[in-house]
């Protein structure tokens, strides 16, 4: 069984405030139902109004204040305020009270989870590929300044016969951190193959100052509309460390299969390595792995038996006939002996090239390599 908690409700009274602000003992159930009908009415009338959230505050027993946070205030207000007046009249008939109707613009809709979910739903209804829609939403939120985004789609994705769930995550979304400012939104895409549910989590940073007793509503309203709130919000410790290490420029990304879909996770900060530098490092590593140990210089080379024999060979030219008459076993042994002394082998090769030009050069009978010279 899944044990999931709403990210907004878990933080009520800590970093978030209630969306309905009133108190009643006798009419509690009736007013809860009335709030539900008010929100349902507004969302039904403003399907294209980009509604982020609806706050309801009751003043006394005869007045209700309704604040609509939207990314398209012009659609909600209408020409000359006609649409707003029509909605206010409908709300008064629905609630039976005087209604104060306020329209508040969301200044940064790219970081609003509800608006992002509605955008994905609209794309799916327009027959856009769900993978493209989810990836585009993640990129949009990160570009707007979010520290982490998770987008999930559930249903008959791509017209499949069996429903499934796929999600994409980039950055961090610390759901267990109570001071984390995590915005959560959901929407439903009514497609031709059925309903597809969309959920979006947006991590905006840590809130270090709690609400006071008097400025809860005002600060929450400013935060919801995208304006600076009275609370101090800063980036997480990990984000600040990565920014200090790589100046915010070296954050790579790797794709990991997880949760039924591809998961994009940040791969740390630091300096970004270019393709040319990577190729150069690879070439150096290959040379170091295949390189032979270098022989000491001629003046520092130890005088072993093999080196003495080599010097005797290099003092006088060697005849080509003597080398050619050698048996294959002797030639193999000579090659094995020549491997440790690379510089001496190169000198033998140069002397052999000189010997080709002078075919009547004498051969040394005492040399180990002239076993067949007399023949």
The CA distance from 2 to 20, in Å, is: 28
**Residue 136 scores a pLDDT above 90:** yes
CA distance 370 to 145: 82
Give CA–CA dist 113/98, Å, rounded.
31
All structural domains of the chain with their residue ranges: 7-105, 110-215+226-275, 305-357
Domain 7-105 falls under CATH 3.30.300.20: yes
Q: pTM for this one? A: 0.59
Structure tokens at 348: 């033998």
The predicted structure's pLDDT at residue 343 = 52
Lowest mean pLDDT across 24-33, 270-279, 310-319? 310-319
- State pLDDT tens for residues 237-283: 667 777 777 654 444 444 444 444 444 444 444 456 688 888 888 88
Q: Say which CATH class 110-215+226-275 falls into.
A: alpha beta
pLDDT of residue 118: 95
pLDDT band for position 166 (cuts 50, 70, 90): very high
* Better pLDDT: 346 or 283: 283
Residues found in the chain? 375
* pLDDT tens per residue across span 57-75: 998 888 999 999 999 999 9
Quickly list DSSP for 241-262: HHHHHHTT----EEEEEETTEE
**Lookup: tokens for 209:** 């100052």
Six-digit token string for 286: 């290959």
Query: Percent of the chain scored above 90 by pLDDT?
Result: 47
> What gap in Å lies between CA 334 and CA 348, rounded to an integer?
12
């Amino acid at each position: 069984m899944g044990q999931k908690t709403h990210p907004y409700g878990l933080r009520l009274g800590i970093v978030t405030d209630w969306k309905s602000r009133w108190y009643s003992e006798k009419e509690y159930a009736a007013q809860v139902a009335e709030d539900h009908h008010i929100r349902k009415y507004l969302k039904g009338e403003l399907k294209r109004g980009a509604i982020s959230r609806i706050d309801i505050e009751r003043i006394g027993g005869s007045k209700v204040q309704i604040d609509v946070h939207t990314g398209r205030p012009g659609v909600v207000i209408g020409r000359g305020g006609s649409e707003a007046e029509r909605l206010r009249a409908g709300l008064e008939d629905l609630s039976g009270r005087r209604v104060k109707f306020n329209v508040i613009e969301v200044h940064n809709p790219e970081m609003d989870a509800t608006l992002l979910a509605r955008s994905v739903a609209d794309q799916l209804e327009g027959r856009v590929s769900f993978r493209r829609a989810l990836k585009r939403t993640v990129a949009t939120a990160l570009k707007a300044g979010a520290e982490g985004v998770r987008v999930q789609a559930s249903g008959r994705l791509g017209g499949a016969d069996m429903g499934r769930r796929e999600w994409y995550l980039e950055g961090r979304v610390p759901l267990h951190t109570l001071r984390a400012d995590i915005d959560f939104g959901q929407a439903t895409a009514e497609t031709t193959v059925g309903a597809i549910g969309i959920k979006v989590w947006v991590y905006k940073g840590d809130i270090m100052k709690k609400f006071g007793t008097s400025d809860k509503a005002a600060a929450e309203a400013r935060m919801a509309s995208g304006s600076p709130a009275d609370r101090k919000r800063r980036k997480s410790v990990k984000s600040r460390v990565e920014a200090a290490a790589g100046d915010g420029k070296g954050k790579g990304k790797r794709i990991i299969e997880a949760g039924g879909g591809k998961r994009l996770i940040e791969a740390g900060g630091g300096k970004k390595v270019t393709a040319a530098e990577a190729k150069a490092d690879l070439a150096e590593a290959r040379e170091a792995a295949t390189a032979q140990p270098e022989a000491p210089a001629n003046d520092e080379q130890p005088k072993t038996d093999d080196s003495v024999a080599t010097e005797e060979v290099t003092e006088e030219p060697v005849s080509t006939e003597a080398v050619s008459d050698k048996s294959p076993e002797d030639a193999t042994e000579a090659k094995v002996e020549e491997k440790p002394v690379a510089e001496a082998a190169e000198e033998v090769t140069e002397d052999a090239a000189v010997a080709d030009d002078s075919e009547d050069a004498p051969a040394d009978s005492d040399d180990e390599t002239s076993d067949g010279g007399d023949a």
